[in-house]
Chain A
Amino acid sequence: METASPEIFSSIPLTHYILLSTTLFVIGLIGVMVRKNIIIVFMCIEIMLNAANLMLTATSVYYNNPGGQIMVFFTMTVAAAEVAVGLAIIVMAFKNLNTTNIDLFNKLKG
């Protein structure tokens, strides 16, 4: 299938994509730091992962290297597996502690 060559290079420099990715990443980071509900924290981690994926894709297109997109492929794979296992752990923890407030997940306190 033939497609037009993306004109994105001419108008938008790579730094814009970098800025966008970093902003998304920082938003996710803030969410992880601030939110108390563990499910929401997990979701903010997903935002961070996606921001990284976006930047990988952008640089792979701008440098004409398919390796970046392959890496995104694998990242998504690992993210899926991680979500599965993580949610299983959260469910079991909820069964024990009956709460999702991460301030109360402090049994490893020194």
Chain B
Amino acid sequence: MNPEILIHLIIWPTFIGFIINGLFGSMLSKTASGIIACAGPLIGFLATLYLYLTNPLLEAINYSYYNWFSIGLANPVNFSIYIDHLTILMLFIVTGVGTLIHVYSIGYMHEDKGFSRFFAYLNLFLFSMLLLITGSNLILLFAGWEGVGLCSFLLIGFWFKNPEYNKAARKAFVMNRIGDLGFILGIFLLAIKFNSVDIVKIQGSFANLSMNDPSIILITILLFIGVCGKSAQIPLFTWLPDAMAGPTPVSALIHAATMVTAGIYLVARMNILFSLAPFTLNVILFVGVATAIIAATIALKQNDIKKVLAYSTVSQLGYMASALGVAAYSTAIFHVMTHAFFKALLFLSAGSVIHGLHGEQDIKNMGGLKKKMFWTHLVFLIGTLAITGCPPFAGFFSKDEILSSVYSWNFWAFVGLSFASICTAWYMFRLYFSTFHGEFRGDKHVWNHVHESSWIMLFPLVVLAILSILGGFAGMPEILSERHFLHDFLKYNVVDHTHHVNHFFEYCLWSVTVLALAIIVWLTYNRYAKSSKEKFELEPTGFSKLFANKYYLDEIFANIFTNPLKRLGSWFKNTFDSKVIDILVQLPGNTLDKASIELKPIQSGNISWYIISILVGLIFFAILFLVKL
């Protein structure tokens, strides 16, 4: 089959699904709506599969739909699709996990009135993500970037009747926008410097640039600011925990698997540019490590299932950023892949728990759920083992690779990331034991109605669990295998800095990891598996208080940025608007009013006055006429 037809099949079915569900959703039955929506990513996945299988030694496909605009640049900006190995990998992840989440959502959102609207938004989101991944120039990528930001806003505020959710949606959008400012400035500078925004052309014209060129450093810093906004690095990450206001499939799709990885994808895509600016790479490493540590410590003391998972996402994104910071781009993409699997799994199983408990999200009201929700419990355990890096699950391989790459670059960064790993293990197992073990701490009435989820929700969970188990084998380290599948897959598109890892160090790392995991499991089991409700309601003190209150970051941001802006806005509204603008606007009216009052006496009724004025006017005009003005 023609590659062009396959490209059409990858991208457009989701858009068509959006149109149909958006315009006609209220007329369709729920089943029809769901099937149309799931068909989009499924067709995309199958088309990608077919494309890969018929074309394994893929040379890059560059297919242009039409010439979008060509102002001033040497290369016109086209609406064109570029597919190489990196793109194919991301397409697999996005469409695959996307399909599973769509199937899950049919079950999760079944009683919701906005069923078809939800699927319309989900399809639009997937379409924007596909544009982002396959765009061949930065403008199209940015269009997809903005599209996913928009859909994130729409989906977080999906239950829009609640003003708190709307606030969260707005917060996500605005913080995203702040990052976008940096991104756009970066694009502009790139356009000026390389006279093109086409990714391939930019990557190809690096030959005459030196390392640490100031303009390249500036451009990469600006692009990284965009990444901070989208991929929730410090300081632009506070929107992600608030974004848990949306339905759980949204959290799974957007904030675990796809949107937040868009930033990581951007850096990996522009890898040559970033490799030319080691200063920026150090910045990225520093920010990534800091993000990982801070988010992991906050998650230690959160009581909402989804918030713990949200901070876990931020922490894992910090890991990916650290990998980028040591120029191990394919490692970061590897972690993107495994993270998509296990984080989506965790979110969807948390959604299953919430669904089974009819909306309860606080872990102090849970406990002992493994008796009633066996399959959910099993997949959640698999996800927990994957994220904490237990061999031979997926997370072990990717995390191990990141840790060893970072170790060979910077020792203290390695220490920070290890500390974050320990925190990750602690809070994940705390979550697992509190939710599924021990006695149920909630209402008796709720306990009677707890039920396992339907097969339509369990099926994607099982598939994701299998992927979490097997996904790590795509990237085996040197010790165990000759070939690293992922590195080989990506090596033509992504140029890594080769990290030579000491084998002895690898073995040490593995053993320490397994040992630490065992200790942490034992400790958390004793502490949380049998704890009572009062333990969760204790007021935290000291460091715990700092963690539980999210380092007061929300309050700090509010006081520095939001409140002054609000005060400025209200000042404008009350003072400026009423005193200055109203006066200006009413000025013609008031002037006319006063002028008419002044001019009224002219019509005095006094005849001689009239005649005198006629005569004076006549003389005036006669003089004008005679002097020939």
Tell me, in angstroms, the Cα distance from A106 to B612 when the chains sit together. Answer: 16
Chain A, range 17-52, C-beta contacts under 8 Å to B: 29, 32-34, 36, 41
Find chain A residues with CB under 8 A from B605 CB: 105-110
Q: Judge whether A102 is part of the interface by a CB distance below 8 angstroms.
A: yes
Q: Judge whether B608 is part of the interface by a CB distance below 8 angstroms.
A: yes
Say how far B430's CB is from chain A's closest CB, in angstroms: 88
Find chain A residues with CB under 8 A from B612 CB: 33
Nearest opposing residue in chain B for A106, CB measure: B605
Say how far B451's CB is from chain A's closest CB, in angstroms: 87
> Are the C-beta atoms of A109 and B604 separated by less than 8 Å?
yes
How many chain A residues sit at the interface, stated as a range, is 10 to 19
Find chain B residues with CB under 8 A from A108 CB: 603, 605
Tell me, in angstroms, the Cα distance from A110 to B610 when the chains sit together. Answer: 13
**Interface residue from B603, B606, B608 paired with A34 (Cβ < 8 Å):** B608
Tell me, in angstroms, the Cα distance from A108 to B602 when the chains sit together. Answer: 12
Find chain B residues with CB under 8 A from A110 CB: 600-605
Tell me, in angstroms, the Cα distance from A32 to B609 when the chains sit together. Answer: 10
Tell me, in angstroms, the Cα distance from A36 to B607 when the chains sit together. Answer: 10
Nearest opposing residue in chain B for A110, CB measure: B603
Q: Which of B601, B604, B605 has the most A CB atoms < 10 Å from its CB?
A: B605
Find chain B residues with CB under 8 A from A33 CB: 608, 611-612, 615
> Are the C-beta atoms of A103 and B606 separated by less than 8 Å?
yes
> Are the C-beta atoms of A32 and B604 separated by less than 8 Å?
no
Nearest opposing residue in chain A for B604, CB measure: A109
Q: Which of A32, A36, A107 has the most B CB atoms < 10 Å from its CB?
A: A32
Tell me, in angstroms, the Cα distance from A107 to B602 when the chains sit together. Answer: 14
Chain A, range 76-110, C-beta contacts under 8 Å to B: 102-103, 105-110
Tell me, in angstroms, the Cα distance from A106 to B607 when the chains sit together. Answer: 8
Find chain B residues with CB under 8 A from A107 CB: 605
Say how far B461's CB is from chain A's closest CB, in angstroms: 87
Nearest opposing residue in chain B for A38, CB measure: B607
> Are the C-beta atoms of A106 and B604 separated by less than 8 Å?
yes
> Are the C-beta atoms of A29 and B615 separated by less than 8 Å?
yes
Say how far B320's CB is from chain A's closest CB, in angstroms: 82
Say how far A54's CB is from chain B's closest CB, in angstroms: 21
> Are the C-beta atoms of A32 and B611 separated by less than 8 Å?
yes
**Interface residue from B603, B607, B615 paired with A105 (Cβ < 8 Å):** B607
Find chain B residues with CB under 8 A from A109 CB: 603-605
Nearest opposing residue in chain B for A30, CB measure: B615
B: which residues have CB within 8 A of A? Answer: 600-608, 611-612, 615
A: which residues have CB within 8 A of B? Answer: 29, 32-34, 36, 41, 102-103, 105-110
New A-B pairs, 4, CB < 8 Å, besides A32-B611, A36-B608, A102-B608: A106-B606, A107-B605, A109-B603, A110-B605
